[in-house]
Amino acid sequence: MILILLSMKVATGFIAAYTPTSFYLGLVYICGTQARALLIWSTWKGYCWEITSPEPMMKLIECCYMMRHEENLIAEEECYRMLTEIIRQPQLYKNLSGSNLIGSMHPDLDTMKKKEKDQLKHLDKLERKGWDVADLKEKIVKGQRKLDNDF
């Protein structure tokens, strides 16, 4: 089998029926579809892989399997319907798994007062310097700490 297409030598066999242009187009088409399948990242997998806490979904899938094993078809169908409802509504999926945002962009901080936000910024600066202030930050976010004027 000889394959020199630029000098127009054509091999015998199935390649002999192709012109150089059609051969290259076929090669690009075949390799392109394979390369696309290998390189493209399926978007439906993105929200499954980038989830903050997958435990609620894992427990729901586990419940679906357990109900099937126990032959409780009504409960299995309920679990399956909940699962499909969650998958169809990305916002519900996000509410179950939590937010990926951290720091000043976290949704829990939307209802905070300006003074509490200033305290969190100050604690962030201290944390960057090496101080262990995670407990204080958590208390402020949860609203368990009173605001001090001298802080």
pLDDT score, position 7: 57
How would DSSP label each residue in the chain? ---BTTTTB--SSGGGGS-HHHHHHHHHHHHHHHHHHHHPPPHHHHHHHT-S--HHHHHHHHHHHHHHHTT-HHHHHHHHHHHHHHHH-HHHHHHHH-----GGG-GGGGG--HHHHHHHHHHHHHHHTT---HHHHHHHHHT-SPPPTT-
Q: What is the pTM of this model?
A: 0.45
Question: How would you write the pLDDT of the chain (151 residues) with one tens digit per residue?
Answer: 555 555 555 566 666 777 778 888 888 888 888 887 777 766 667 666 777 788 888 898 899 999 999 999 999 999 999 989 988 887 888 788 877 776 666 666 777 788 888 888 888 888 888 888 888 887 877 776 555 554 5
pLDDT score, position 92: 84
